Structure 1
């Protein structure tokens, strides 16, 4: 019997190129962390001394929020159409839009064009988290992009968006082609980068999975998750070396620009390298280009194995998909809540606002940036440990332990701030929290999402991922509103928001314990039988 010889060198090179998409995913989402204070000074403090500029900015802020809500609403409406019959879906979408529109109008649009404390914090929160709107859009369009222009070309598009965002975010006044004020231009360029992140978050692992031989597919796909946390760690180093030894004035005027512009280097390399990697055999076959597919398969797996794999690819197109509610509502709700709790425990508050949190503990700019590097290193180290332990310990056990430790550390961090015990105790609580998340809810959520959905309804995972980005946006946007609120500061001294995240960690542990099945060592077919039996009992 012929034993196929894998061309490991070519496979590893292709994986390394595609994993740059994951690295840029982490780089783009974390680059904002070092610039929050400077952005607040450069963009928002300026508004306090210029009423006309403040009024114009508030009007444009309301407009861009309205457009973002409309775009996200349309995307989620398309998901609703797949869950319900068309007539019922339109009714549900109409009710949601009506209620949301009424609340949004009276609670936001009718507010006067005056820079109040809450509005100021809202603008800051959205400016920091605006890329996440793009992530929702990009992730939602990922499947259509993959099937229309292909996985490789979709990544080329993402690389181009990363490059445009890097340049536009660093110099929004000079690249302001939108005829808006500078703050709005900055937000638009961050959203453009977010679309690139959303596309890369889906297309990079998909490209690797379709190019990698089955024997080493799991290991290679996990490289994408490792690349994400590596990208975060790299940008923490970059931000640190940009601000090291510099004055606050220079950082507020120039330093933050270099942080965003630095992304142009990996984005350019990603764009260049993608021009030299092939399209996936599955996409080539889908488009009727079987000769091209055979060439790629032969190079990766050997000529004898190539025909066999091509036959398997062609056969997979004949498999029928089932309606999304074929296994009942339980599996859908569990998948969505996994995504929601992953964000509601507050992880991206730490990743996006870490330097500002450390400054709030009394640290100088250089020291706060250095502590952020430690956060990134802990995140990467324990993510690697999770990859190697998840199959031994089981998913549920890791998730429940992670929830317990996150709850203790977040509530403890809240108390250290409330009691004004700054310094080492606060830092240790934050690092403990990061380690717990990286060992559990960080990577294991993705493992569970990939395992709980039967192959027939894998499309539901797109809903869970889109909801995850939406939950990320909600948490990141609201953190400055809670953390910078004068009444809450006077009462709780910055501890309030961390207690909220601690409570969410407790609820996440209860949710895993009560409702999420253990998927360790279960085949996808066994999971399908599990949900089928549950559906019959409902």
Structure 2
């Protein structure tokens, strides 16, 4: 076999570009609910056979996260037995089917436009199906990129996956905004502690049709991704694990050049003497660190803000909450680029620590704005922007970088699956608990108490996260994936 003597960055960037489309779908699928959830709530408030409560709406808005937990939990099995490439193609199929099913959950079995308890179950099944795709993509996309990328570019390229996630969220904010057009979100009135009704002046099109278009729009991107992922090569490290050294050398040569590829393959083979090892072969600490990175990424509360952004801005007195959501998306994109272009210069730990501090400041700013009377709406809005921007240059991309590179080669698939599963478990906990917590009332403060309490809690967690990174997380800048294998082997004394 003739191997390329010189590596091609164009080849590398093209396959990474396809992989990060999975990240874009990740962002699109998880954020589409932000524009659709009010119309969806109004639609199911019209059901005759059950009462659609605040709690049910919180679970429905977060149901995709149950699929994310399932998808991430099985991602290790899929990545190990089907390979990284085929697993991403399977994720693409799940995205596609979920988009169409969420658009028309009545398909084949129910009367169109007639809300009912069984239709709600069908809708949630389709959302869970998409969540399985997100769970697979969230674990395998950064893993795939890390395994094809040279060590000096790995942090930057994996960070592009987070950029794609945030870009996908921004795209869906725009798409939702354009779909809504001249229509308005429904007006929902609270008639008791947990019961709501739709005001008679609400836009009927938004209730019956608008949310469907928002969910269905994802099918176009999902179809493109599924086709393109079939054209990229398999991860060279997975090929080496499977004993397909010639194919691995071919992919590495196209990326790094033949001589460098031989050296990389030799290092890979030295750390993959067996296809897999027991999960705790390198000690408990490496698994603990990976899991806690995932837990903190969600426990700081960012996805509660992203999923319910229009509702939050509306409660702050903003006249056009959907447009403010778009502005926040632009801020998020901008600060994600900060991480992309600094992660290999500044390192992973400094970005995480400073991001945690910035998030704490922003979250406490929102909390104090609700504690003190007469604060102008712009103050909590700017605090939200600081909070979100700080996440985007730190925990957003850097957590994925570390999860993709921190684990030894022989346990990576299983360890990443466990870490990402914990991420989605805490995502679900935070997202499903946010609306009830945000709407808590107390005495004269009314629901401002819930607003204050939620962000004060997130601010405290941000401070704890900074301490965790400072004390326990190793710096991985400039290290090969094989270096990480040796680091944890030395720490475990094996």
- TM-score w.r.t. the length of structure 2 is 0.83
**Inter-partner Cα distance in structure 2 for 1:470 and 1:194:** 12
CA 1:450–1:304: 2 relative to 1, 3 Å: closer
Match of 2:96 in 1: 163
Q: Does residue 1:232 correspond to 2:186, yes or no?
A: no
1:508, 1:345 → 2: CA distance? 8
Q: Is the 8 A contact 1:137 1:195 kept in 2?
A: yes
Offset, 1:16: 1.9
Partner of 1:497: 454
Is it true that 1:143 corresponds to 2:76 in the alignment?
Answer: yes
Which aligned pairs between 1:337-416 and structure 2 lie closer than 5 A?
A: 337-364=292-319, 367-416=320-369
Query: Which residue does the alignment assign to 2:291?
Result: 336
For 1:423, the equivalent position in structure 2 comes to 377
Cα distance in 1 for partners of 2:255, 2:489 equals 38
Q: Does 1:508 align with 2:462?
A: no
Q: Is residue 244 of structure 1 aligned with residue 181 of structure 2?
A: yes
Give the structure 2 partner of residue 174 of structure 1. 107
Shift of 1:241: 1.2
Aligned position for 2:397? 443
Counterparts of 1:438 and 1:415 in 2: how far apart (Å)?
Answer: 23
Aligned equivalent of 2:64 = 131
Change (3 A) 1:193 1:527: closer
Displacement after TM superposition at 1:332 (Å)? 3.3
Distance in 2 (alpha carbons) for counterparts of 1:216 and 1:518: 15
Superposition pairs for residues 322-333 of structure 1, below 5 Å? 322-333=277-288
Structure 1, unaligned stretches of length 5 or more?
55-114
Aligned equivalents of 2:482 and 2:255: distance in 1? 29
The structure richer in helix per residue is 1
Q: Secondary structure, in 3 states, of the residue corresponding to 1:324?
A: coil
Deviation, 1:388, is 2.4
Structure 1's 508 and 287: CA in aligned 2 closer, same or farther, altered over 3 A? Answer: closer
- 1:25 matched residue in structure 2: 26
Q: Deviations over 1:83-112 (max 9, x none)?
A: xxxxxxxxxxxxxxxxxxxxxxxxxxxxxx
Structure 1 residue 144 displacement after superposition: 1.7
| Superposition pairs of residues 204-243 of structure 1, within 5 angstroms | 204-212=141-149, 217-243=154-180
Q: Is the 8 A contact 1:362 1:422 kept in 2?
A: no
Q: Which residue of 2 aligns with 1:53?
A: 50
Contact 2:98 2:126 in 1 (8 A): yes
Q: Which residue pairs with 2:131 in the alignment?
A: 194
Q: Distance in 1 between matches of 2:133 and 2:302?
A: 21
Provide the C-alpha distance between the structure 2 equivalents of 1:4 and 1:240, rounded to a whole number of angstroms: 49
**Would the aligned equivalents of 2:406 and 2:476 in 1 still touch at CA under 8 Å?**
yes
The C-alpha deviation readout for 1:259-311, integer Å capped at 9, x for no partner, is 11110111111122234334445555666766766665666566777777766
Q: Which deviations, in whole Å up to 9, do the C-alpha atoms of 1:16-54 show, x marking residues without a partner?
A: 2222111101111111111121122112x224xx3x334
Q: 1:154 to 1:387 in 2, by over 3 A?
A: same
**Partners of 1:230 and 1:380 within 8 A in 2:** yes
8 Å CA contact 1:386–1:443 kept in 2: the answer is yes
Change (3 A) 1:275 1:308: same
Indicate conservation of the 8 Å contact 2:268/2:482, yes or no.
no
- CA distance 1:455–1:363, shift in 2 (3 Å): same
* Bigger shift: residues 203-212 or 240-249: 203-212
Instruction: Give me the whole-angstrom Cα distance separating, in 1, the residues matched to 2:247 and 2:24.
Output: 29
Q: Deviations over 1:107-161 (max 9, x none)?
A: xxxxxxxx6xxxx222111111111111111112122212333322222211111
Superposed displacement of residue 443, structure 1: 2.0
What is the RMSD of the two structures over their aligned residues, measured on CA atoms? 3.4
Distance 2:88 2:492 in 1: 38
The alignment partner of 1:442 has SS state of helix
Range with greater deviation from structure 2 (283-292 or 456-465)? 283-292
**Higher deviation after alignment, 428-437 or 318-327:** 318-327
Instruction: Please report how far the alpha carbon of residue 468 of structure 1 lies from its aligned counterpart in structure 2 after TM superposition.
Output: 1.0
Q: Does the CA contact (< 8 Å) of 2:356 and 2:465 recur in 1? A: yes
CA 1:415–1:176: 2 relative to 1, 3 Å: farther
Q: Distance in 1 between matches of 2:239 and 2:480?
A: 29
Deviation, 1:514, is 4.1
Question: Deviation string for 1:376-401 (max 9, x for gaps)?
Answer: 11112111112322344344333332
Q: For 2:231 and 2:402, how far apart are their aligned partners in 1?
A: 34
What is the number of equivalent residue pairs in this alignment? 465
Change (3 A) 1:452 1:285: closer
Deviation at 1:421, TM superposition (A): 2.9
**What are the Cα deviations for residues 413-451 of structure 1, in whole angstroms up to 9, with x where unaligned?**
122234363521111000010111112222222334445
Once the two structures are superposed, the pairs formed by residues 5-154 of structure 1 within 5 Å of their partners are 5-43=6-44, 45-47=45-47, 50=48, 52-54=49-51, 120-154=53-87
Question: Per the alignment, do residues 421 and 37 of structure 1 end up closer, same or farther by CA in structure 2, a change over 3 Å counting?
Answer: farther
Q: Is 1:479 paired with 2:434?
A: yes
Cα distance in 2 for residues equivalent to 1:535 and 1:304? 33
Q: 1:176 to 1:474 in 2, by over 3 A?
A: farther
User: Tell me, what secondary structure is at the counterpart of 2:5?
Assistant: coil
| 1: CA distance, partners of 2:261 / 2:469 | 42
